[in-house]
Amino acid sequence: MTDALFSGLLRLPTGPVDLSAIDTHAKPGFDGNKDDGERALADLGPELADMQEQLFAERTTGSTRRVLLVLQGMDTSGKGGVIRHAIGLVDPQGVRITSFKAPTEEELSHDFLWRIERAVPGPGYVGVFDRSHYEDVLIGRVRDIADEAEIERRYDAINAFEQGLVDDGVIIIKVMLHISADEQRERLLARLDDPTKHWKFNPGDIDERMLWSDYQEAYRIALERTNTPAAPWYVVPSDRKWYRNLAVAQLLREALLGLDLAWPEADFDVEEQRRRLTDETPIDAGTDSGTDKATDRTGPA
């Protein structure tokens, strides 16, 4: 039970959604303060890294299981911070991060899911989407980029797409990083105050901010329409950065725990291989071994 604490607390109930009723400053499931939270996050590192490696190892058995973490949230809500602090705890070799920007000409010439499908992580990986197909029903709606009928079509297309992923072994963790408008203003002002953060600032961010309530409404509808049993939404209160990082790490941990991972068994005779190494002719690194060469390409290990 304890193992599914965060996913239980943060999971968005199905049915009508009221984001304004979810306290952006809360810290469900955690009693401690910032120091406690940062320590708790660091303490998760070894367990997360082990499970991620087990998932990666499982590939070698032909398993298609993988994890896809979808991060959505308003500007400054901390998608990048979560990747750095939570995803940064595991081996980067097993992680595939895709950051979705405004679509290119080529991407626009295809269905909105085309570029998304190409970024789905392969078996064994933890994939992370920094923004996602949800932009196509968020900015798509707020900025009138698509008409109402197309937006409607997209909700259903997203649900069908995600169901297909789940059927194919993908565990989807959809997270909305939920901040208040006041917190966003503070964070934007902090970026302006710090010259090392100016590169992250774009005057267009304030234009988007002026549409705050339109975005909240777009989120409300999107979450309501795509909060499926196969791929539910989690709303993470994110005014506290340390809680946000810890909560997403916990959601990842609980998803990995749910996979009941184990180290794959050897598909070779361990003793036989050990004998090959202990009984071998000494290797002379200085001269050509003269060993017969095989002609089939085995490729790098």
Q: For residue 97, state whether it binds a copy of itself (rule: CB under 8 A).
A: yes
**Cβ at position 156, least distance to a copy of itself in Å:** 22
Q: Considering only residues 262-281, where is the footprint of a copy of itself by CB under 8 A?
A: 263-266, 268, 270, 273-274, 276-278, 280
Applying CB under 8 A, the site for a copy of itself has a residue count of: 83
Which one of 41, 48, 67, 87 is in contact with a copy of itself (CB under 8 A)? 87
Q: Considering only residues 201-220, where is the footprint of a copy of itself by CB under 8 A?
A: 201-214, 216-217
Q: What angle, rounded to 10 degrees, do the helices at 135-142 and 212-226 form?
A: 140
Cα–Cα distance between 123 and 56 in angstroms, integer?
Answer: 8
Which one of 25, 40, 99, 169 is in contact with a copy of itself (CB under 8 A)? 99
Considering only 84-92, 153-161, 169-177, 251-259, which stretch makes contact with a copy of itself by CB under 8 A? 84-92
Return the closest-CA partner of residue 52 out of 113, 116, 128, 107. 128
How far, in Å, are 3, 44, 53, 137, 167 from residue 261 at the CA level?
A: 14, 16, 10, 35, 18
Q: Considering only residues 147-176, where is the footprint of a copy of itself by CB under 8 A?
A: none
Q: Considering only residues 121-140, where is the footprint of a copy of itself by CB under 8 A?
A: 130-131, 135, 139
H/E stretch holding 236: strand 233-237
> What is the DSSP secondary structure assignment for residue 11, as one 8-state letter?
B
Considering only 62-70, 88-96, 148-156, 247-255, which stretch makes contact with a copy of itself by CB under 8 A? 88-96
Cα–Cα distance between 45 and 57 in angstroms, integer?
Answer: 18
